């Protein structure tokens, strides 16, 4: 019997390939022995006018086929890259050109593009390009941008790309009336996605068919396809984008098109030979994207119970040199900052600032880690001010389970009201307290203190809008072998989509899991898709594959009913066999697929010949008159709005009294992503997120000097946690409050693990040290310096 797979920890089918080194990434794509290789000259200066670029000596080098600067680009290629999510408030949006036009705005900006026989020659060619610069003063960091002594873009006054404000009432009055008030200044520094595989693109132009095939390590194949077609002046139908395995994205690969994603296809078309570009690690650091950098000022008014009566947040967002993704990050911070709480009045304002640094696009969590950090540090500060337990203050502010759907009174990026669909925050709090041992901790702390050891506990709560639209689609095809091929257009970067979508299809159709094969990210198989970001695949494509499988099933039952001369209502499907309940009559889905095609072939064993026979043969019922041939189902899912997952993390840390080294003693997570498709995969996502969060809270930051040079643009200097720095075990408990917005009651899970890290570590370290941290990440040397400063006379 087919067992129900939804909700079970089915092992990931993709891991067989990955663990045996059989993954196939863009750099592994072989499109012929005549492939050429591209390299990019990048600006060594953060801010300068380009006076002259001399490429005279480049083509003299043997093996060089092409060198381009901005002056070689024409038509749409000479225009700035698209601004992907415009917002009416972003009056001063700026995007870069594929190659810098007359000014460079960050170290790493692309200036010239070379194609050669191999990468070595291409890089040698770069060293022959002579660029004359006229230096401009760089603007580095939020303070310098706010001071506006110098401008990043001469036509953007005060370096402000956008100013935005939302409020749910009169915050000044609410603060004035509150029994208690306090203010906080909170900072988070810049970090980066750093997937194992950097960006990469390969392109092949077929002059006979005038078709372009692009392989890209992207989170949105259809997005790349649309941009490439538009920029190269091709019809969409002339461009196919294939996304093979992707070695992580974490947000950086949703940005599209990257300059190379346009230049490589254009070069392939120009030269009539395949061209490849693979980003190296330094390029990833200096020419992809960063996130997180924000400075916040908070004023909160509250009553004796810690209930928030007024919350006023102003923050400054460091957008880097350009705004390819509009205001999405600061808008998410501002609208999802409130998390599971319902202050009486909330006002949030932000300024999005240009700096001469790598541009900012969403990184896993996308603005929510900053929001969660602000809200949770505020909760801790209220508890401290009132001498209350930190969990009691949170409980006093929770939205209650009977208040859903809950409207926070805020407008999201898409202009729609932000409404939480479901959740049970009080129940999560009970679970997380049990899991971490909150009530027992004071005794443990005292015991440790008696031994001269410092320990602290922290807790942080968050909500996450997941599963954003507008749509995602799926195509389900039952083959005559009985195997089921499923295609979704979104891409996959390690989340295990091939497994979870097969689980959903196997359940919906009644076939064996092993018989389902899932393809993602190939515009030839599913040209209508949006992509993998914003924790949307489970909700969007999960729902779409479910609906498409139901369509295929509906047709299968119709044909089977005719073949078996039974009523459809009496049929059931299990293990790929349709049978009439209570009788022995049955037909397998492969045969139903054969019957679905009026033109059929039989194979004659004796003559080894295929014999064509058609509709009406004895014993072979025809398909219904209005049916199309083939046993297929295609459907799209389009939600009315996002669904809100939620969770709580808690951590116990120990800080060394002498060295200020920070050790994680225990980490616990309670997570609610509605119905779980595959609990093992969700837990894997949480583990990955927590590991990334440990990096963001304790190790990773982009260290710029005053001139705009990134000082740690390699894994020698950019500290990522090893397995030794990640908690040995993470205790996880799930709560399942289903979403009423999609057919399977799912909410997203892919970013959750990283959202509360800065908040929860700041809380625990503050608890251990006895003073409040206000800037993250925190290193042992910084913690040591804080201690010294506090003990200084």
Distance from C-alpha of 23 to C-alpha of 196, rounded to nearest angstrom: 13
With CB under 6 A as the contact rule, the residue among 66, 396, 511, 746 that binds ligand MCN is: 746
Is residue 496 involved in binding ligand MCN (CB under 6 A)? yes
CB-based burial of residue 187 (10 Å sphere; 0-12 exposed, 13-18 middle, 19+ buried)?
Answer: middle
Distance from C-alpha of 521 to C-alpha of 219, rounded to nearest angstrom: 8
Shortest distance (Å) from residue 420 CB to ligand MCN: 16
Look at residues 419, 394, 441 and name the one whose alpha carbon lies nearest to residue 648: 394
Q: Which is nearer to ligand MCN, 263 or 676 (CB)?
A: 676
Shortest distance (Å) from residue 748 CB to ligand MCN: 3
* Strands 454-466 vs 643-655: parallel, antiparallel or unpaired: antiparallel
With CB under 6 A as the contact rule, the residue among 750, 757, 759, 764 that binds ligand MCN is: 750
| CA distances (Å), origin 203, targets 37, 114, 225 | 11, 15, 12
**Binding region for ligand MCN (CB under 6 A) out of 165-173, 339-347, 653-661, 676-684:** 676-684
With CB under 6 A as the contact rule, the residue among 535, 543, 596, 737 that binds ligand MCN is: 535
Q: Which is nearer to ligand MCN, 676 or 730 (CB)?
A: 676
What tokens does 304 get?
A: 């004796």
Look at residues 618, 676, 316 and name the one whose alpha carbon lies nearest to residue 496: 676
Count residues binding ligand MCN (CB under 6 A): 37
With CB under 6 A as the contact rule, the residue among 161, 576, 721, 748 that binds ligand MCN is: 748
Q: Which of residues 84-113 bind ligand MCN (CB under 6 A)?
A: none
Q: Which is nearer to ligand MCN, 288 or 356 (CB)?
A: 288
Is residue 493 involved in binding ligand MCN (CB under 6 A)? yes
With CB under 6 A as the contact rule, the residue among 406, 533, 637, 644 that binds ligand MCN is: 533
Distance from C-alpha of 399 to C-alpha of 423, rounded to nearest angstrom: 9
> CA 214, 218, 220 angle in degrees (round to 5)?
95
Q: Are 260 and 252 in contact (CB under 8 A)?
A: no
Distance from C-alpha of 466 to C-alpha of 747, rounded to nearest angstrom: 6
Shortest distance (Å) from residue 523 CB to ligand MCN: 18
Is residue 538 involved in binding ligand MCN (CB under 6 A)? yes
Q: Which is nearer to ligand MCN, 254 or 308 (CB)?
A: 254
Secondary structure of residue 348 in the 3-state scheme: strand
Q: Which is nearer to ligand MCN, 466 or 646 (CB)?
A: 466
Is residue 673 involved in binding ligand MCN (CB under 6 A)? yes
With CB under 6 A as the contact rule, the residue among 73, 500, 549, 561 that binds ligand MCN is: 500
Q: Are 537 and 496 in contact (CB under 8 A)?
A: no
What tokens does 229 get?
A: 């077609």
Q: Which is nearer to ligand MCN, 101 or 427 (CB)?
A: 427
Q: Which is nearer to ligand MCN, 250 or 425 (CB)?
A: 250
Rg (CA), the chain: 28
Is residue 361 involved in binding ligand MCN (CB under 6 A)? no
Look at residues 363, 359, 285 and name the one whose alpha carbon lies nearest to residue 715: 285
Q: Are 402 and 617 in contact (CB under 8 A)?
A: no
With CB under 6 A as the contact rule, the residue among 115, 262, 474, 676 that binds ligand MCN is: 676
With CB under 6 A as the contact rule, the residue among 674, 695, 721, 756 that binds ligand MCN is: 674
DSSP state of 753: G
What tokens does 204 get?
A: 């092949």
DSSP state of 522: B
Distance from C-alpha of 177 to C-alpha of 529, rounded to nearest angstrom: 50
Q: Which is nearer to ligand MCN, 749 or 758 (CB)?
A: 749
Q: Which is nearer to ligand MCN, 243 or 535 (CB)?
A: 535
Is residue 743 involved in binding ligand MCN (CB under 6 A)? no
Q: Which of residues 310-329 bind ligand MCN (CB under 6 A)?
A: none
Maximum CA extent, the chain: 101
| CA distances (Å), origin 284, targets 29, 194, 278, 279, 652 | 20, 7, 10, 6, 34
**Binding region for ligand MCN (CB under 6 A) out of 41-49, 633-641, 661-669, 675-683:** 675-683
Shortest distance (Å) from residue 532 CB to ligand MCN: 5
* Strands 36-42 vs 110-116: parallel, antiparallel or unpaired: antiparallel
With CB under 6 A as the contact rule, the residue among 342, 431, 445, 497 that binds ligand MCN is: 497
Look at residues 425, 435, 355, 483 and name the one whose alpha carbon lies nearest to residue 651: 435
Q: Which is nearer to ligand MCN, 238 or 422 (CB)?
A: 422
Shortest distance (Å) from residue 662 CB to ligand MCN: 25
Secondary structure of residue 655 in the 3-state scheme: strand
Distance from C-alpha of 318 to C-alpha of 353, rounded to nearest angstrom: 5
Is residue 203 involved in binding ligand MCN (CB under 6 A)? no
With CB under 6 A as the contact rule, the residue among 324, 369, 473, 494 that binds ligand MCN is: 494
Residue 210-249 contact track with ligand MCN, rule CB under 6 A, x = bound: --------------------------------------xx
With CB under 6 A as the contact rule, the residue among 93, 138, 195, 226 that binds ligand MCN is: 195
Q: Which is nearer to ligand MCN, 47 or 671 (CB)?
A: 671
**Which residues are near ligand MCN by CB under 6 A?**
195, 248-251, 364, 466, 493-497, 500, 532-539, 673-678, 681-682, 685, 688, 746-751
């Amino acid at each position: 019997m087919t067992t129900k797979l939804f909700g079970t920890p089915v092992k990931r089918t993709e891991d067989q390939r990955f663990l045996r080194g059989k993954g196939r990434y863009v750099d592994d794509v072989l499109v012929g022995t005549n492939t050429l290789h591209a390299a990019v000259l990048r600006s060594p200066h953060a801010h300068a006018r380009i006076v002259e670029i001399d490429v005279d000596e480049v083509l003299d080098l043997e093996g060089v086929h092409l060198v381009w600067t901005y002056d070689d680009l024409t038509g749409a290629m000479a225009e700035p890259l698209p601004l992907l999510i415009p917002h009416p408030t972003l009056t001063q949006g700026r995007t870069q050109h594929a190659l810098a036009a007359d000014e460079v705005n960050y170290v790493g900006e692309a200036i010239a593009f070379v194609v050669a026989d191999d990468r070595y020659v291409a890089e040698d060619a770069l060293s022959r390009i002579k660029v004359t610069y006229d230096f401009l003063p760089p603007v580095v960091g939020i303070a310098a941008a706010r001071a506006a002594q110098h401008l990043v873009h001469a036509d953007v006054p005060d370096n402000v790309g956008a100013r935005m404000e939302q409020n749910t009432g009169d915050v000044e009055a609410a603060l004035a009336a509150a029994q208690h008030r306090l203010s906080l200044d909170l900072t988070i520094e810049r970090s980066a996605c750093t997937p194992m595989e950097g960006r990469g693109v390969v392109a092949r132009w077929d002059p006979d068919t005038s078709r372009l095939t692009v392989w890209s390590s992207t989170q949105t194949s259809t997005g790349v396809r649309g941009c490439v077609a538009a920029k190269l002046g091709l019809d969409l139908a002339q461009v196919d984008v294939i996304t093979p395995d992707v070695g992580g994205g974490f947000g950086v690969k949703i940005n599209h098109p990257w300059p190379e994603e346009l230049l490589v296809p254009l070069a392939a078309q120009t030269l009539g030979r395949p061209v490849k570009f693979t980003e190296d690690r330094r390029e990833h650091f200096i020419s992809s994207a960063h996130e997180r950098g924000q400075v916040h000022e908070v004023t909160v008014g509250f009553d004796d119970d810690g209930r928030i009566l007024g919350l006023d947040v102003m923050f400054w967002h460091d957008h880097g040199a350009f705004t390819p993704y509009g205001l999405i990050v600061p808008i998410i911070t501002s609208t999802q900052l409130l998390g599971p709480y319902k202050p009486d009045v909330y006002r949030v304002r932000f300024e999005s600032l240009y700096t001469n640094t790598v541009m900012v696009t969403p990184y896993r969590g996308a603005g929510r880690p900053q929001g969660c950090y602000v809200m949770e540090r505020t909760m801790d500060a209220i508890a401290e001010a009132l001498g209350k337990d930190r969990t009691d203050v949170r409980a006093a502010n929770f939205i209650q389970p009977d208040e859903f759907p809950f409207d926070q009174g805020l407008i999201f990026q898409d202009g729609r009201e932000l409404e939480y669909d479901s959740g049970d925050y009080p129940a999560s709090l009970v679970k997380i307290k049990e899991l971490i041992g909150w009530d027992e901790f004071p005794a443990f702390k005292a015991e440790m203190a008696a031994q001269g050891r410092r320990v602290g506990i922290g807790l942080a709560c968050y909500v996450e809008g997941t599963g954003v639209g507008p749509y995602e689609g799926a195509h389900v095809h039952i083959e005559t072998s009985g195997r089921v091929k499923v295609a979704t257009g979104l891409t996959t970067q390690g989340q295990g989509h091939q497994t979870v979508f097969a689980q959903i299809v196997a359940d919906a159709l009644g076939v064996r899991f092993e018989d389902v094969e899932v393809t993602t990210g190939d515009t030839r198989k599913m040209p209508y898709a949006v992509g993998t970001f914003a924790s949307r695949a489970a909700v969007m494509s999960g729902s779409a594959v479910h609906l498409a499988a139901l369509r295929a099933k509906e047709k299968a039952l119709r044909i089977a009913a005719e073949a078996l001369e039974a009523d459809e209502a009496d049929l059931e499907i299990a293990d790929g066999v349709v049978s009439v309940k209570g009788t022995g009559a049955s037909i397998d889905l492969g045969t139903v697929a054969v019957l679905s095609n009026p033109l059929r072939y039989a194979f004659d064993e004796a003559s080894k010949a295929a014999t064509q026979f058609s509709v009406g043969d004895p014993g072979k019922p025809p398909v219904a008159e209005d049916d199309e041939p083939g046993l297929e189902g295609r459907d799209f899912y389009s939600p009315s709005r996002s669904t809100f997952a939620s969770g709580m993390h808690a951590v116990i840390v120990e800080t060394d009294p002498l060295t200020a080294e920070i050790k994680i003693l225990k980490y616990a997570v309670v997570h609610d992503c509605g119905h779980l498709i595959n609990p093992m995969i969700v837990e894997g996502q949480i583990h990955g997120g927590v590991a990334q969060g440990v990096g963001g809270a304790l190790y990773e930051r982009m260290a710029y000097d005053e001139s705009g040079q990134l000082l740690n643009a390699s894994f020698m200097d950019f500290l990522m946690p090893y397995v030794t720095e990640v908690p040995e075990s993470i205790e996880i408990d799930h709560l399942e409050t289903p979403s009423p917005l999609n057919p399977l009651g799912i909410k997203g899970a892919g970013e959750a693990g990283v959202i509360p890290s800065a908040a929860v570590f700041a809380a625990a370290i503050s608890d251990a040290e006895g003073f409040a941290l206000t800037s993250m990440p925190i290193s042992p040397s910084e913690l040591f310096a804080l201690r010294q400063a506090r003990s200084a006379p």
